[in-house]
Structure 1
Amino acid sequence: MKFSRQLVTDLETRGSQAFPAFLECLRETGQHALAELLQCGDGVRLPPSVPIQPSLIPLPVQTPVYIEKPDRPDFTPPLLEPVRPKPLPVPNTPTPFPGAPVVRPNRPRRDSIQCYKMDASPCGICLIINNVDFDPDCDLKDRKGSDIDCDKMEKRFKALNFEVIAKRNLKHKRIRHEMASLAKRDHSAYDCCVVIILSHGTEANHNRFPGAVHGVDGPAVPVQLITNYLNGQNCPSLQGKPKLFFIQACGGGEKDTGFEVSPDEVEPSLGGIDDQMDAIPISSSSDSLSTSDELDARATLPTPSDILVSYSTFPGYVSWRDTQAGSWYVENLDRVLEENAATDDLVTMLMMVNNAVSQISAKGLYKQMPGSFNFLRKHLYFQASLS
């Protein structure tokens, strides 16, 4: 009997059908007694081996769902997306309770706009041309209050670590001479160059930068010509470095009376009691600019790149100046630089200046809108410390 039990055990290890097949073979060969002995053992029937079937989980059947067909013979019901079962939660993954904030992984933020290098000491040269007293024969009034603007800009850019050079009452040829001298200087040790012009202005022919500024003798120098002195061709030591021009002068003879807005839109501010314009109408005596500039095939940057020209007023319009407090534009430019240079870039601060000047009114009627022609390639932050 011990042998029969061992035989049964061995057969069961061969699979669930091995033992029944062996018994069937015994019966077919006429060995019925042995078959009964193996099947019953010591009179106790051995239970047949029951194979363990794997547990099968049926997948949900996705039945296409159609919307109800209206009473139209030409209507074809669209097939809607079948309802898919919600995925089971992954083990060991905590499920947030309802209303819990969803925590998202931090993604590294990469700013694609770089900043200009502005850590040289001094940072650069700042040339201020301050035209106040004009020849009586040129029909241009003296610019009372311009010395206040000049003092503000001189102190402000010294505080921003610039070497400031102030020139007063320059004739139109002298303006060109000063710009040519500035272009010939070696700016290799500097990171920036600034030119501030305080004068009367007018319109002029141009293909890049509008406007022109008058010398004290009457003739005007186009702003485009002034910027060309410092471009990538004419001043190699400033290539790739920011060249900033701030023009306090009229862009023409038109006066802007503004347009009516809701009182909530602006905070109106009245100008001084003696506001004057920095403009005369466009004149044929204004110098024209040659358009036959040669192309520099070896240059790696466009010639007018890294230049920003900030105008006190929109091209074609007058710019207002208080004879006792200085011009609206310079006053607000100085204030914004003082309050924000330690935290904000130049373009952002110029928008602050635009907004502040736009809310002032001359004689309770006339408005002024500054603006910029911006060809900078990077953010520009001045050297300034938090106060």
Structure 2
Amino acid sequence: MEKTIKDYLVDALDDLSSENLKKFKSKLCDRKVEPRVRRGNVEKLDYTMELADLLINTFTTRSAVHVTMEILTAIGCNQVAEDLKRDTESDGSAPQPQVQNNSVTAPQPEVQDSAVPAPQRSAAVATTPPGSYDQPDTSAALIPSSLEFKQAILREQGQKIYPVLDKAARKRLALLINNVEFDHEDMKRNGAQRDEENMEKLLRGLGYDVVKRTNLSGQEMDEAIKSFAGRKEHAESDSTFVVIMSHGKRDAILGVHYGVNNPNDVLPVDSIYSHLNSENCPALINKPKVILIQACRGGENGKVWVADSEPDQLWNMESDVWEHKEKDFISLLSCTPDTKSYRHKLNGSLFIGFLVEVFNANANKDDIEELFRQVMRRFEEFGMLKQMVCKDRTTLLKLFYLFPGL
């Protein structure tokens, strides 16, 4: 079987003595260049394979080799570094690193999820200095819920919690749309592939089969959501996730053909709710529907006119069976209206990164609204780049616990 980059990294780490491996871990934690690795995540690793996974998850497969060679050289393991360089270069998998002051550097975060026309895109690049903020940590594994916790919370909360079907019987589905490549080359969403990987891994860990679509026009996104809403599996499910990642403006998500000459290639956000509401998706009535949107929001401000027309006549109506047209939704958007959403060229967006970090650590014990609050607090603590996620059109009537693993 042909060796992978991970195999070469493991081989290099296995060549180190116990003392040099400790030096390697310490030097890795001491790096001041973004993305940085938390000491606690390194110290708990017992095997070189786990360390190789951490390197790849943090720096991407392509950059992990160069970071490893940098550290090996710094601790005096020059021969191991040379062997790793030779093996990966002969394999053709490792590109040349960007070197600055003898250290490997990752590209800086950029703003490319807004509705900025392509010719103006270069003005939207963030210039945050490296090492000045704590980036999302998506390397940790999703912590499963314990059966004892689930039984206890169900006893305490009872009817206040959305029912969760048995793992063996349910058929959970999630839709993941990721627009990366656009007609305008400088609208390419570098780093969005990492978001897709992290989000898919999280959704599958939460028990959802993931329907993935990439590089869609506005109409194709609309058709994908409509088709997803009609899936028969929803009748045997207890919830769903719809995740859309693209460029955007205030009330719409941009398709891959969007541009000055094609300004109508968009998906109105309203269409997502329309396709999944009680009328058009009856299989998901009374079941949580989670909408996650990673995209900038531009355009108009938050003012709204309220009509003072005569209210609808609701008196003397005959009783009948009915459902609220829009109910049991909860949405988290990557930024507030009129603001931008930040994404790293290699490591993906802050929104997906912080969301995955929070869910991995706390979905085993917190309901989804509390998890969303933790994501919001994560942005508040972050501070360096002014971005704040926000909940929108939340109509959950009960607590939604994901109970990962159960």
Normalising by structure 2, report the TM-score: 0.52
Pick one of 237, 245, 248 that aligns with 1:190.
237
Contact 1:253 1:318 in 2 (8 A): no
Which whole-Å CA distance do the structure 2 matches of 1:312 and 1:224 have between them?
16
- Deviation per residue, 1:93-118 (Å, 9 max, x gap): xxxxxxxxxxxxxxxx9758611112
SS in 1 for 2:276: coil
Q: Distance in 1 between matches of 2:391 and 2:220?
A: 26
Output the CA distance in 1 between the equivalents of 2:321 and 2:351. 35
Structure 2 Cα separation of the partners of residues 163 and 112 of structure 1:
27
The answer for the alignment partner of 1:202 in structure 2 is 249
Q: Which is higher, the Rg of structure 1 or of structure 2?
A: 1
Contact 1:251 1:316 in 2 (8 A): yes
Paired letter, 1:312: S
Whole-angstrom distance in 2 between the partners of 1:302 and 1:248: 27
Q: Does 1:306 align with 2:335?
A: no
Change (3 A) 1:198 1:120: farther
Matched, 1:370 2:389: yes
Distance 1:298 1:128, change over 3 A: farther
**What is the aligned partner in structure 2 of residue 232 from structure 1?**
278
Paired residue secondary structure (1:228): helix
CA contact (8 A) 1:169 1:216 kept: yes
Alpha-carbon shift at residue 303 of structure 1 (Å):
1.1
Amino acid at match of 2:272: I
Query: RMSD of the alignment, in Å?
Result: 2.3
Q: How many residues align?
A: 225
Native 8 Å contact 2:163 2:238 kept in 1: yes
Q: 1:331 aligned to 2:392?
A: no
Counterparts of 2:362 and 2:351, CA distance in 1? 16
Change (3 A) 1:236 1:385: closer
Residue 188 (structure 1) shift: 0.9
The one of 359, 362, 365 equivalent to 2:381 is 359
What is the SS of the residue equivalent to 2:355? helix
Letter in 2 for 1:375: T
Letter matched to residue 314 of structure 1: T
CA–CA distance in 2 between the matches of 1:245 and 1:298? 30
Q: What secondary structure, in the 3-state scheme, does the structure 1 residue paired with 2:220 have? A: helix
Q: Pick closer, same or farther for the CA change 1:215–1:345 going to 2, 3 Å.
A: same
Contact 1:212 1:223 in 2 (8 A): yes
Quick one: higher RCO (CA 8 Å, sep 6+), 1 or 2?
2
Measure how far apart 1:369 and its partner are.
0.6
Q: Deviations over 1:28-67 (max 9, x none)?
A: xxxxxxxxxxxxxxxxxxxxxxxxxxxxxxxxxxxxxxxx
- 2:402 aligns to what? 382
Secondary structure in 2 matching 1:188: helix
Partner of 2:298: 252
CA distance in 1, matches of 2:209, 2:194: 19
What are the within-5 Å matches in structure 2 for residues 206-225 of structure 1?
A: 211-218=251-258, 219-225=265-271
Q: Is the 8 A contact 1:231 1:304 kept in 2?
A: yes
Aligned residues: percent identity?
Answer: 32
CA contact (8 A) 1:192 1:242 kept: yes
Match of 1:102 in 2: none
Q: Which of residues 83, 108, 126 is equivalent to 2:174?
A: 126
CA distance in 2, matches of 1:134, 1:144: 11
Change (3 A) 1:298 1:225: farther
Q: Structure 2 CA distance, aligned partners of 1:312 and 1:228?
A: 21
Gaps (5+ residues) in structure 1?
1-108, 204-210, 255-280, 282-296
**Deviation of the 1:123 alpha carbon:** 5.1
**Cα displacement (A) at 1:383:** 2.8
CA contact (8 A) 2:365 2:403 kept: no
**SS class of match (1:359):** helix
Name the structure with the higher helix share: 2
User: Residues 346 and 380 of structure 1 are in contact (CA less than 8 Å); yes or no, is this contact kept in structure 2?
Assistant: yes
- How far is the alpha carbon of 1:119 from its aligned partner? 2.5
CA contact (8 A) 1:247 1:311 kept: yes
Distance 1:226 1:157 in 2: 19
